[in-house]
Amino acid sequence: MTAEFLREEVLQSVQEIGEADILIGIPSFNNARTIGHVVRAVRAGLAKYFPEQRVVLVNSDGGSTDGTSDIVAQAEIAGTSRILVRGTPQPMRKLITAYQGMPGKGSAFRTIFEIARRLNVRACAVVDSDLRSIAPEWIQLLVAPVLNEEFDYVCPLYSRHKYDGTITNSIVYPMVRTVYGKRIRQPIGGDFGFSGRMASYYLAEDVWESDVARFGIDIWMTTTALMTGWPICQSYVGAKIHDAKDPSSDLTAMLMQVTGSLFGQLAAHAPSWYDVEGSEDVPTFGFEYEVGLEPIPVNIDRMVNAFTHGVLDLSGFYKSVLSPSTLGALVALAQKPPQPFHVPNDLWVRVVYDFAAAHLRQAAPPDHLLRSLTPLYLGRTASWVVESASYGASEVEQALDTLGQRFEALKPDLVALWKKGGRAS
């Protein structure tokens, strides 16, 4: 296999290293403010939990101009005695390179996969470069299930504020559990563990000149692992803290990227998921506990206004996307918003299924179609904020499980749409 996308100096460094046991990849782009902490946490985790393993850190950078790579090169922990490590752990080699190929996180991962393949590593993990909450234990929890428990893919399980991750909570998680039959709580978490053979499998797939390389790598990795039967688990790593965003702010680009990637995977894997019924838990590692989470500001009125104006302004367009009954229910909500505002679970499920089917049949240009989901998503998010205002962590999970059950109960409708090429009767 050729690897023209690896730079010559990287190939030379890989040849010098020869082989390694564990590789940790950190994709980055202008993350000078946070990446030093991430590198130090990775180093501490490797020293504390895998002191005898040969370890390599790969920083696959997208052309940062803020000194990100310099910080990676300089970042070190003060000493292993501070993290209660006896003896001298194996040194950590660093490979720092600007990735080549299409701009995007997927191209950064491709570089990491190729280096892992050439070093014949046993286990890998990738972690985001902007994490403020990463701790050394994350490395153990992402890597140990691969090294010690024979899993090939490890998803993260986070504690997140109930208003954070609303795209995952309202669309991605319930769709993945329904279509693939596994309750992977964070299918697009961004921080994953996987085996060396899994990295080689991904590398051989013909997706690196597609949207996967731009912004669909997380959901592609997870659904590919699910669909092809690799042993999969999840590990509880605690809080994921990053810059908080108001879920009523402009999330159109993210929503388009995530839903477009998810719907694309449904099409790629059909009809294999048609007969999947219900869902089941996957093995979970780590000690779950309550954590304090940073508050997230919300503006319910702005979200409801975006919903009502969007539905009424786009009702003509929605006729080509939504079933008449679904559109009628949305228009009724927009004309007379209930107090307190509420979008029923079943109505939301039918919205998502209708959009997935419309994406399949190319009812409109993909960007136009997916952009038009934004006001409906904001309405559902406003409904969630109202509903969950008094919920604690366990009540949040119960409510999201109830939503997932409704996605599963109505799955025959999605299958029927898919079998007809996305066209309703």
Does one domain contain both 249 and 323? no
Q: How many CA atoms lie within 13 A of 240 on its CB side?
A: 20
Q: How many domains is the chain partitioned into structurally?
A: 2
Cβ-based neighbour number of residue 16 at 10 Å: 8
The answer to whether 342 and 386 are in contact (CB under 8 A) is yes
Q: Cα–Cα distance between 307 and 98 in angstroms, integer?
A: 42
Question: Which domain covers residue 371, as residue numbers?
Answer: 300-419
Report the CATH number that the domain containing residue 225 is assigned in CATH. Answer: 3.90.550.10
Going by the DSSP 8-state scheme, the letter that residue 212 receives in this structure is: I
Q: Cα–Cα distance between 234 and 331 in angstroms, integer?
A: 40
The answer to whether 399 and 342 are in contact (CB under 8 A) is no
Please identify, among 235, 257, 285, the residue that sits at the C-terminal boundary of a domain: 285
**Residue 95 in tokens:** 């490979």
pLDDT in tens, the chain (425 residues): 446 778 899 999 999 999 999 999 999 999 999 999 999 999 999 999 999 999 999 999 999 999 999 999 999 876 666 665 666 788 999 999 998 888 889 999 999 999 999 999 999 999 999 998 999 999 999 999 999 999 999 999 999 889 988 999 999 999 999 999 999 999 998 899 999 999 999 999 999 988 888 889 999 999 999 999 999 999 999 988 865 544 444 588 899 999 999 999 999 999 999 999 999 999 999 998 877 767 788 899 999 999 999 999 999 999 999 999 999 999 999 999 999 999 999 999 999 999 999 999 999 999 999 999 999 999 999 999 999 999 998 999 999 999 999 999 999 999 999 999 878 75
Q: Does a structural domain hold residue 357?
A: yes
pTM for the model: 0.93
Does one domain contain both 203 and 267? yes
Please identify, among 257, 285, 313, the residue that sits at the C-terminal boundary of a domain: 285
Rg of the Cα atoms in the chain: 22
Residue recorded with tokens 């007809």: 420
Q: Does a structural domain hold residue 379?
A: yes
Please identify, among 255, 285, 315, the residue that sits at the C-terminal boundary of a domain: 285
Phi-psi sector, 126: left (phi>0), alpha (psi -120 to 50), beta: beta
Does one domain contain both 261 and 361? no
**Residue 216 in tokens:** 């669909």
Does one domain contain both 136 and 274? yes
Q: Does a structural domain hold residue 36?
A: yes
The answer to whether 31 and 68 are in contact (CB under 8 A) is yes
- Range 385-390 contact pairs with CB under 8 angstroms and sequence separation of 24 or more: 385/163, 385/247, 385/298, 385/300, 385/303, 386/300, 386/340, 386/341, 386/342, 387/342, 388/162, 388/163
Residue recorded with tokens 């993260």: 156
Does one domain contain both 280 and 311? no
Does one domain contain both 40 and 173? yes
Residue recorded with tokens 């990446």: 35
The answer to whether 353 and 413 are in contact (CB under 8 A) is yes
Cis peptide before 340 (omega within 30 of 0): yes
**Residue 348 in tokens:** 């939301």
Sign of the CA dihedral running 188, 28, 141, 293: negative
Going by the DSSP 8-state scheme, the letter that residue 82 receives in this structure is: G
Which of 332, 409, 404, 316 lies closest to 364, judged by CA?
Answer: 316
Encoded amino acid at 73, one letter: A
Does one domain contain both 263 and 318? no
